[in-house]
Structure 1
Amino acid sequence: MEARTALTISVIRTTHALLPLLHKAQRPRVVNVMSGRGSFTMNDDPQRIESRLRGLVYPVSKAALNMLTYQYARALPGFRINAVDPGFTATAINNHTGTSTPAQSARRSCGSPWRSTGPADGSSTPQVRLAGSELGCAPTSWRRPRSFR
């Protein structure tokens, strides 16, 4: 329950609390921190470590955050809605076995989602950055969303 609250409900509350300010911004953007653990594509790829890991709460919560990011992109045309995956970071949740320090992961995550102006066509398609490289939309089955009308 704590992971669900921290990884999804708190994102909703924070985003909604900041919406009045974001609507006034010239280039409003939201950046969520996702994880390959919540990606159907990555969990289904036998070459990826995510396909060999087990768990319920964390991966399900991160999958929910991926969908939440997608839905915000649909609901907020004109906003840049991004998600970053900092990679396998050494934290207490994985007994500090990650391949990157928190500082390295933070540096990797703070690049293009903040500087990016988004797709040239002006769409609000979620942009995902995985461990320092642009991936476009993830999971790969995402399509350009239509705005709510």
Structure 2
Amino acid sequence: MTTYDDDLRSALAAYYAGGLLAEGGRADEVFREIGEMFPFVGSKIKWAMANDVVQSKVSGEMAVAESVDFFCEVTKWMPEDEIVTYVGDSATTFSITGRLSVFWQAVHLIVDVPQHHYFLGRSSGWCVSLTMEGDMNFGFSSVI
């Protein structure tokens, strides 16, 4: 367990208490699943091999706000009741699951943790990644 684990759990406490979000499996287990759907190069998805990719870049003071806007914009066409899994790549050790509509409300609390962020819509085969370097990516798996 890390300090960031505790911080994220604390930030999302109301969502947990209301049954809107729940902890899932360990981060490394979810990354194995993502790796089965999307090819990786190092710790990042190789987006050139995904379908219907949307990419953008952010830097500076507005990174969190722009990441939130990107996430909401690229997923607004997905079913709001779709179950989404979130995982970070280093600072946190667990995954989080919940409906997409809840993540639209909570994403600003999540992306404040300094790590690469991955949101996976398993049933539709999509992924959003938001990196510490300011890369914002969305795409569909080419294997589903």
Answer whether TM exceeds 0.5 for this pair: no
Answer 1 or 2: which has greater helix percent.
Answer: 1
Report 1 or 2 for greater relative contact order, CA contacts < 8 Å, sequence distance ≥ 6.
2
TM score, norm. by length of structure 2:
0.31
